[in-house]
Amino acid sequence: MLWTIITFVFFTILVAVISYAKTKGDDQTTADGYFLAGRGLPGFVIAGSLLLTNISAEQLVGTNGQTWASNMSPMAFEVVAAIACILLGLYAAPKYLKSGIATIPQMLGIRYNRTTKLWFSIAYIVLYLVVQIPVILYSGSLVFENIFGVSSILHISKFQAVVVLCIVISVVGSIYAIFGGLKAVAVSDTVNGIGLIIGGFMIPFLALSVLGHATGSDGFAIADGFKFLAEQFPEKLNSISPADAMPPAVPWPAVFTGLAFLCIQSWCTHQSFIQRVLAAKNLKEAQKGALFCAFMKILGFMYLALPGIIAFALFQVQGDQVTMMDEAYPQLVTQVIPAPLMGFFAAVMFGAILSSFNSVLNSVNTMFTMDIYKEFIDKEANDAKLVSVGKKVGIIFAVATTIVGPMIYFFPAGLKTFLDSLVMLIGLPVLSAVFGGFFFKHLPKYAAKFVLLFHIVVYGLFLMFMSNSVHYLYAIAVLLPVEILAMFIMDRYNKSKNHAVAWVQEDVNAVDLTPWKYRWVAAGIVVVGVLVVYAAFSPLGLGA
């Protein structure tokens, strides 16, 4: 335990020191400097921050829990995301940077009107505060309870330990998000990203080694462990689930429809993700960041899906009893990581948790300050006032989410399914409104608000009455085309009946829009990588 604590503290402090050194002297007094890192992020930092914003404990715990309970089909959340990152770099980023926006609701305000911006800002903020940040806090607390045994150390219940850990994560994460601004968040993400790649890739190899020894290996334990896994559990290595599969499995038709739409929403319109791209110094760096992140997402199955399969096999061999899918990964970690390395892995996990927490919190602060406060409360507020408001409201939001986080302890389903299904309550109409606004040039001003209300009602009814019998990804697969069709009809009607003038996007010259010359080559490599991974985990490869 002493070595665990020492290495944990050392790496955590190292990240803080590097973040401070890289941001010392930066101008945090302007709105662009605080909320968009002065529009100066390079591609490498964007890629690292995108990756770490996405990957947190709810991903490591949730996706590995899903594969433990089903098969490799949940890896689609990672692998298909690579295609969505291509769309972000080649299509969405040029559009966003052309308008010089700071938030997605701001883009909607430019395309439609200011009340549309208000509606979507409020919807996004409520979703982040009630669902996304609390899930990040809870899942992170669950991991640290399993690693450090906080309940045993403090002689308290597991729920009380979760409460204590939620508070600790919230306090430390708030320091980055509230007082450091986006630049501090992005730099810490990049450093933690390097640690996560090392630590994350470490788990499947260590776990295969333990599995090899547990099954009587007297040679190369990692190879023997993988051979045992492939021979005894080929059905678990198959990523192609039946069309009628239910969560946590991903039915194969949904991979190309509902899940693809979910990934596009996450990577092209999710505020906490694309805010890194909005802060790019130019389009070239934004595309480098998005495409490099796409390449890293292809490899995500190694630490976000495969460990869950190994855990299933190992627990079968050892006779261990795991009843909740969200406990599979933390239990695997405590079994396979040597004590001297546990502190490093805990610090990496802590960094990943902080990254997602402070990234989403920073995005909430940005949307409230720029889209609501500046637009509807104090139009004359200067940069200093906006930064001050952002910091104060960040503290309030952090406290609120810390109260909600521990409550997820009582939610019976898996973390990942809970998060993904509820996020699409707001996320999908945002995708429809943004991309529909780009595609259709004659939409009436009320179009986005109509889509938002329609989706919340229909999808909300689905979640209440049909989610136990129909996979939520199928609902998404139906609703997005319906919403785009509705926008197409409104566009045609407005053009023919009202003689609407076509919307033309204005270039505000926020950054240089010269594209990266190797963008298509990089995109092609990513597509080939996606196909190779899917072929490997299918009946054509390891699956059965």
pLDDT tens digits, one per residue of 373-400? 988 888 888 878 888 888 888 888 888 8
DSSP 167-205: HHHHHHHHHHHHHTHHHHHHHHHHHHHHHHHHHHHHHHH
Q: H-type helices in 280-414, by residue range?
A: 283-298, 301-304, 306-318, 328-336, 339-366, 383-404
Instruction: State the pLDDT at residue 505.
Output: 94
pLDDT band at 26 (very low <50, low <70, confident <90, very high): low
Structure tokens at 192: 């933690």
Report the amino acid identity of residue 155.
H
pLDDT bin (cut points 50, 70, 90) of residue 237 is very high
Tally the C-alpha atoms within 13 A of residue 135's C-alpha that lie toward its C-beta: 28
Return the bridge partners of 41, or none: 280
Residue 325 is predicted with a pLDDT of: 80
CA angle 248, 250, 253 (to 5 degrees): 155
pLDDT at position 29, please? 54
Q: Which residue has the higher pLDDT, 182 or 485?
A: 485
Nearest to 50, CA basis, from 84, 90, 75, 96: 84
Tokens representing residue 249 in the block: 């499995």
- Stated pTM of the model: 0.85
User: What is the distance between the alpha carbons of residues 1 and 148, in angstroms, rounded to a whole number?
Assistant: 8
For 96-105, what is the mean pLDDT? Answer: 92
Q: What is the DSSP letter of 373?
A: I
DSSP string, 402-453: HHHGGGGGG--S-HHHHHHHHHHHHHHHHHHHHHHHHH-SS--TTHHHHHHH
Buried (b) or exposed (e) across 169-198, using 16+ Cβ within 10 A?
A: bbebbbebbbebbbbbbbbbbbbbbebbbe
Three-class secondary structure of residue 34 per DSSP: helix
Q: Residue 345: its pLDDT value, please? A: 80
Q: Are 138 and 415 in contact (CB under 8 A)?
A: yes
CA distance 34 to 493: 43
Answer with the residue of higher pLDDT: 3 or 162.
Answer: 162
Residue with token string 């302890």: 409
pLDDT digits (tens, 9 = 90+) for 440-496: 999 999 999 999 999 999 999 998 888 888 888 999 999 999 999 999 999 999 999
Q: How long is the chain?
A: 544
- What mean pLDDT, rounded, does the chain reach? 86
Are 309 and 204 in contact, with CB atoms under 8 Å apart? no
User: How far out from the chain centre does Cα 391 lie?
Assistant: 23
Q: What is the pLDDT of residue 141?
A: 85
Confidence of residue 150 (pLDDT cuts 50, 70, 90): confident
Average pLDDT over residues 237-249: 91
Name 532's Cβ contacts closer than 8 Å, sequence gap at least 6. Answer: none
Distance CA 72, CA 233 (A): 11
CA 477 vs. chain centroid, Å, equals 20
The confidence score (pLDDT) of residue 301 equals 92
How far apart CA 319 and CA 198 sit, in angstroms, is 30
Question: How large is the average pLDDT for residues 129-142?
Answer: 83
- Whole-number percent of the chain with pLDDT over 70: 89
Question: Within 10 Å of residue 157's Cβ, how many Cβ atoms?
Answer: 10
